Amino acid sequence: MFKPSLPAVVLFLFSVSLQSQNTSIVYVRSLNTDSIIENIQSIQMQEYLIKKDRHSPTNRQFQLQTSREFALVCMFDSSCLYSFPDSNEQSAINKIFGYSFGSNHHNNSFRIGWRCKDSVIEVLAYWYIRHMRFDNTLFVIEPGKRFFIQATLDNEKVKINYLIEDMKQEYKVVFYNPEKHPLKNWGYVNYPYFGGRKKSPHEIAIYLKAWIFE
């Protein structure tokens, strides 16, 4: 059973104080996912605008967490399509949302990532374990379509439920920590981010609503 440490409890209480400032991130004890999926078109999302030559939106906040589960509804608009002449830059994975385990997401973390592939967006599971980076493709989606993802993590694997609007729900299990390396039971929320090393080639808008399970 997950038992948060004293530092984790302090971080969590600090995070709760930020909830009223950020309505796109909601803490919940349970979630009616069937209702969210059924009403995905009416879910109110917040725009995260990444300006040209930037990595991050201006409306992100430092938000701490002690959770191992999250859900989100997200939409990319056509501004999320881009093309770089360097194939390495084109294949770099941008980020939507996720958690660090501890104080550095480049050490240990799990996030949902994305990148442009011609006229569609590839959505991926993306994580670091002991400074090593991995990814696993979930699906591709057209700009303008909404999707739902719920990720439930234990110390070895993550169960991912996902659905693209007007399509059936899918499930995938990703073994993100197969050797069960110990992970901190606290960390911080990772917001939308463009890059890789390359900064946004133009203004990019991502729409997001997320739920953090207490």
Residue 84, judged by CB atoms within 10 A of its CB (0-12, 13-18, 19+), counts as middle
CATH number of residue 158's parent domain: 2.60.120
Whether residue 6 is predicted with pLDDT greater than 50 in this model: the reply is no
Q: Is the pTM of this model over 0.85?
A: yes
Domain boundaries, position 48: 6-213
Residue 1 domain flag: no
**Total structural domains in the chain?**
1
Confidence of residue 22 (pLDDT cuts 50, 70, 90): low
The predicted-structure confidence for 41-70, as pLDDT tens digits, reads as follows 999 999 999 999 999 998 877 889 999 999
Residue 111 domain flag: yes
